[in-house]
Structure 1
Amino acid sequence: MCSPSRLARFFSFVLAFAVLAFAVLTFAVLAQAPVVAADSVTRAVAPEGHLSGVAPIKEAANLRITRKETHQEVRISNAWPGAPDLIYFLVPRGTDPGNIDGPPGTVIAVPPRRVVSLSTPNIPFIRDLGELSSLVGVDTADYVYDETVRQALEQGTVRTTGAGAQLDLERLLALRPDVVLLSAYSPDDPALRRLEGAGVPSMVIADWREPTPLGRAEWLRLFGALYGKEALAEELFSHRARRYHDLARRTDQAIRQGARPEVFANAPWQGQWPVPAGESYLAMLFADAGARYLWADTRGAGSLFLDLEAVLARARDADVWMHLNATWSSPEDIRREDPRLTLFRAFREGRVYHHDRRQRSRGANDFWETGVGRPDLLLEDLVTIFHPQADLVPGHQLRFYRSIFP
């Protein structure tokens, strides 16, 4: 019969052996598991639908991102008038997507290491996530405002490819892109069709179809999904949305209805004046900045094409004139265009503002680059212009706008 001490030693040996075996088995399992980036660790524990700790899309009407077991599904609606939903499957690089259940879609390996962007508003979204080093191509250098990308273009580390019917497919293919990001204006968009025909993974970015400023800005979160930086993208967007909502709320409280300036926008071009409709991006910016937009009562998110006489009839006595033609930079340009334009009270009183403060000589304009993702900064400019005496943004210097009067 064994003594108690010998039994104790025996069971201790068995227990130690079991612990060692468990450790070896655990190490073997972990060694075979795929490496997961720190930003995407939450994917493994999040319930299907969205990432753990990351809020669902709220402001963007045309974008949905859904987490699946092996990938993320991106659904883009309304990419052009009457467009069907465009489906993309973001699959972690180096993994086999297998048979993806669901509607037909484009598989994109993420994060992308080589990106071509055929639309300049994408650049700040990539920049804000610290991923500009992945950019290898753009459509044209003329419309790039970002200084880092312009330097890369000069050094040859970023190349131009053309876009639309002028897309140089051979030059683009030489860049070996993991994904091409572009805007498409119809199902027959020439660049989109050629990319699809060549088997190049491409994604249509439709932020410009969003009618609200924050809706456009929230497309940053699509780039967060592309680069595996969902949490950072949500943090940045949430901060910007809070700043926007806070200033809009304070402006609404501080400025009574009767003190709100009447505003109109844009200018005649080739015989017609494209007036932003009442549900458009600019109309909503003006309203949130505490202005009375003169076409706020019209339907639609696009433009109303009117003649000068119709605009003059409604806006002759308006307080502020915003957003001029790209070729205008001074009062003299307006006088030369048509003497009738000087009949607007806003012109006579020197309250005409152009969105070209950050514009380069060939037309690159940061209003349509950085401004797309930073409506909070646009709102600061507009509140300062519309309510200069209210001091709602103390010490603010205009960033995107300038008065055309010296």
Structure 2
Amino acid sequence: MLQNKAFLLLLLSFLLFLNCKEDPGIDRKLPALIQEDNSIAYAEGFSITNHDNFKVLTINNPWPKAEKTYKYVLISKENAAKTSFMKDEYDGIIIIPVTSIVVTSTTHIPALELLNEENSLIGFPGSDYISSEKIRQRIDDGHVRELGKNEGLNTEVLLELNPNVVVGFGVDGTSKSLKTISNARIPVIYNGDWVEKTPLAKAEWIKFFGALYNKEKQADSVFKTIETNYKAAKQLAQTVTERPTVISGAMYKDVWYLPNGTSTEAQFLKDANVDYLYADTKSQGSLALSFEAVFEKAKHANLWLSPSYYSSMEALQTANTHYTQFDAFKDNAIYTFANTTGKTGGVLYYELGLSRPDLVLKDIIKICHPDLLPDYQTYFFKPLK
């Protein structure tokens, strides 16, 4: 009898459980606390995760072989006042939108302009390298402070400026200056755009800045325009059947340095549909070859792009008379971006080229397949005079 009562009680409990489980008045969906931002298509060095009232910006690879992943909370001032975070869970908490910023590489400058946030820049190391006309005017007006050299920032001035955030550029994460700034409770974010492997991946870092300024939609729109232009130029280049042979680089002391076949520079040449003579090489960093090895392979190359820092044919010949034996030298078919500079001497390519790969690709196509873009004027590359 007791066994029957126990069985009935068990059955009744089970039925009640089933009825409660099927009760349409009970909300059994877990709240969507986290949502990955899937709009990053090319860049591998950063990601953005959306939470209920804040975002997390993750930097995966700020420099080659980086062993640490950096995570930063991006949160509004209002939400920061009512949200707490575990100590040491994040590398920094940044109030957005950012209103004052220090960046440390000229490659960061174009993103500020493209997002209409150039007025937020208040400090920069080596400001003479900046070519942007808008920011040069701000420098001349005293709105952007000089911070010395990247490898040894003037921390006294930087601490006085007290920006919302410092966007750092590091090759190994050992900058004592940036650690001093971070210890002073000024957030430091390492930007790894230069580590990316393709032109569009580098350009996509504008979305990194879009997150800081709470302008993700604008950043996405800007990037889509650049991406569309780049793809259109690449597709146009594929229509040609004749591919000129191309050589690059020049000697430094006793070594000729050239882009390896997996580099961003080689990707530009591939997308421009040219025959880069070292396209099949694979290595870490630049190729380092002897003059004899390069001359044997490339003496009859149709075009010579980016002959290091040389600004004229005369300077090239003075450095090494053997350069004159290349067909590209004899045919005046050498092109450089080194002579396209801002008013204080900063090379525009080093500032803007990373953010505008569509312009770089069009330049190369214009040089290598001039009939494809008859009305286009090169932006960075000019004939070596």
Tell me the TM-score normalised to structure 1 length. 0.82
2:377 to 397, 400, 404: 397
1:228 is paired with a residue whose SS is coil
Partners in 2 of 1:159 and 1:223 — Cα distance?
Answer: 21
* Contact 1:50 1:56 survives alignment (8 Å): no
What are structure 2's unaligned runs of at least 5 residues? 1-30
Give the drift of 1:397: 0.8
1:318 to 298, 301, 304: 301
Give the drift of 1:352: 0.2
* Contact 2:337 2:381 survives alignment (8 Å): yes
Give the drift of 1:103: 4.7
1:192 to 178, 202, 206: 178
State whether structure 2 residue 195 is matched by structure 1 residue 215.
Answer: no
* Contact 2:147 2:154 survives alignment (8 Å): yes
1:121 is paired with a residue whose SS is helix
State whether structure 2 residue 155 is matched by structure 1 residue 155.
Answer: no
State whether structure 2 residue 368 is matched by structure 1 residue 386.
Answer: yes
Give the drift of 1:357: 4.4
1:325 is paired with a residue whose SS is coil
Give the drift of 1:110: 1.1
State whether structure 2 residue 152 is matched by structure 1 residue 166.
Answer: yes
Identical residues among aligned pairs (%)? 32
Letter in structure 2 aligned against 1:163: K
1:352-367 equivalence runs, <5 A: 352-360=334-342, 362-367=344-349
2:325 to 330, 335, 343: 343
Give the drift of 1:46: 8.7
State whether structure 2 residue 79 is matched by structure 1 residue 95.
Answer: yes
Partners in 2 of 1:46 and 1:148 — Cα distance?
Answer: 42
State whether structure 2 residue 283 is matched by structure 1 residue 303.
Answer: no
Q: Could you tell me which residue of structure 2 aligns to residue 76 of structure 1?
A: 59
Give the drift of 1:82: 1.6
Q: Could you tell me which residue of structure 2 aligns to residue 40 of structure 1?
A: none
Partners in 1 of 2:48 and 2:256 — Cα distance?
Answer: 38
Q: Could you tell me which residue of structure 2 aligns to residue 34 of structure 1?
A: none
Q: Could you tell me which residue of structure 2 aligns to residue 129 of structure 1?
A: 115
Change (3 A) 1:251 1:193: same
Give the drift of 1:366: 1.3
Per-residue CA deviation, residues 8-62 of structure 1 (Å, 9 max, x unaligned), is: xxxxxxxxxxxxxxxxxxxxxxxxxxxxxxxxxxxxx9983246xxx52011121
1:140-151 equivalence runs, <5 A: 140-151=126-137
2:41 is paired with a residue whose SS is coil
What are structure 1's unaligned runs of at least 5 residues? 1-44
The CA RMSD over aligned residues, in Å, is 2.0
* Contact 1:118 1:163 survives alignment (8 Å): no
Give the drift of 1:163: 3.4
* Contact 1:109 1:178 survives alignment (8 Å): yes
Count of paired positions: 352
State whether structure 2 residue 262 is matched by structure 1 residue 282.
Answer: no
Give the drift of 1:301: 5.6
Displacement over 6 Å in runs of 4+: none
Change (3 A) 1:101 1:165: closer
* Contact 1:321 1:351 survives alignment (8 Å): yes
Partners in 2 of 1:196 and 1:176 — Cα distance?
Answer: 11
Q: Could you tell me which residue of structure 1 aligns to residue 166 of structure 2?
A: 180
Change (3 A) 1:399 1:164: closer
* Contact 2:259 2:265 survives alignment (8 Å): yes
* Contact 1:211 1:301 survives alignment (8 Å): no
Per-residue CA deviation, residues 339-394 of structure 1 (Å, 9 max, x unaligned), is: 11111111111110001342136541111112211111111111000012xx3223
Change (3 A) 1:191 1:392: farther
Partners in 2 of 1:46 and 1:401 — Cα distance?
Answer: 50
1:232 is paired with a residue whose SS is helix
1:223 is paired with a residue whose SS is helix
Partners in 2 of 1:231 and 1:140 — Cα distance?
Answer: 31
Give the drift of 1:199: 2.6
1:257-296 equivalence runs, <5 A: 259-296=242-279
Partners in 2 of 1:354 and 1:236 — Cα distance?
Answer: 27
2:240 to 255, 260, 279: 255
Partners in 1 of 2:283 and 2:231 — Cα distance?
Answer: 23
Q: Could you tell me which residue of structure 2 aligns to residue 30 of structure 1?
A: none
User: For structure 1, which segment, 348-357 or 230-239, has the greater mean C-alpha deviation from structure 2 after superposition?
Assistant: 348-357
* Contact 2:131 2:344 survives alignment (8 Å): no
